[in-house]
Each structure stands twice: as structure tokens, then as C-alpha cells.
Amino acid sequence: MSNKNTSSFRPDLFAVEVQKATGKKGLPPVHLWHPEFCGDIDMAIRRDGHWDYMGSPISRPAMVRLFSTILRHDDDGKYYLVTPVEKVGIRVEDVPFVAVELRVEGKGHDQILHFRTNVDDVVALDSTHPLRVDFAANGEPSPYILVRDRLDALISRPVYYQLAEMVEEIDGVYGVWSSGVFFPLGPVKGTG
């Protein structure tokens, strides 16, 4: 249900508005923008990282990237696209991003793991951008890394397998090192 009729929502015009508001330097300050809620639109981010509008894929990577820069995950648990003058709700099946590439810098405890997402954000695994692993009832892992401001990336299966090749065991816990921090990849002994 929406507060305003969003059937006239035009992604192309919204994108122009976003470009005007954000300029070309860095990420826009969406945390500072508090426009009126304009309703939900028929836009979704699927678990595999693909974006759909009205049931059709958004096929232009530049448009997806642009929308990803104004995405916000609010305290109410919902996701919004936000500009200085408009806030619209969208659906996110799991998390908004997918980590599709891993680059390793250094070795051992001093290594830094850099992840690239499907929208070309690059983030280093560290205490500010931690890794977590959730487990389904069948034991299947879903690993995530925090990209920014409550926006996570699901680590793709191939990247997770790369992580698995770097696993170390410390006191019965399997995990990886990055930025001087040990990140568990499985449940801690006795918790699951």
C-alpha cells in the first residue's frame, strides 16, 4: 500500500533527478535526506543481485549502479530509494548486493580481503565491514559482508569457495583473516 499514486513512476526521470542531486563525487548523503514518503513502487532486487522493475529486468548496468547509490535500509527494516525530494519503497528478497569477486592483498594474519560487488562497490573485510554467516535449517551457509550503512552483500558461491581455500582453525573455529581480524565462517563450537 502506498501514500501516493506511484503508477506514474518513471525510472528514467527518477534517474535524471538522482544524477542532479548527487553529482559525480562519491556516494550521495542519503542519510541526510528526509523527504516525504511517496509510496512503494514495483521494483525489486532479487537474491541473485538482479534488479527488476514491473516484473522486467533492469538491463542497463549504469542505471542499476545509479539506483544502488541512493538505496537506504531504514530502521523499519524496509529498503528505499531516496533523493532530496522523493522517497519510494522497493522490495529486496535477501540483501541488495552480491559479492562477485575477491582479491587478496598480502598473506596470513596481515592479509586484506577486498570484495567487489555486482554494482562495482569495493570493500575491504575489516572490523567496520564485517563478515557474518547465517545458516539455513538444512545447514546451508549464506555468507554476507557489510558494504555500507546497513547494506549487505551476499557472498556468491564461487567467492565463498575462494574463502574456504584460505580457512584456518583457531580453537575449533574455522575462519579467515583480513585486516588483522579473524572472521569465523562457521558456527562457533557449542552454538550450532
**Mind listing the pLDDT tens digit for each residue in 38-95?**
999 999 999 999 999 999 999 999 999 999 999 999 999 999 999 999 999 999 999 9
8 Å CB contact between 102 and 162: yes
131 vs 146: CA distance, rounded Å? 7
Enumerate the domain spans of the chain. Answer: 11-92, 97-184
Which CATH number is correct for 97-184, 1.10.260.40, 3.60.150.10, 2.60.40.2300, 2.30.270.10? 2.30.270.10
Q: What is the CATH number of domain 11-92?
A: 3.10.540.10
Scanning the structure block, which residue is given the C-alpha cell 557472498?
155
> What is the value of pTM for the model shown?
0.84
The strand order across the sheet containing 141-148 reads: 122-124, 112-117, 97-105, 151-155, 141-148, 131-135
Nearest to 148 by CA among 135, 129, 170, 134: 129
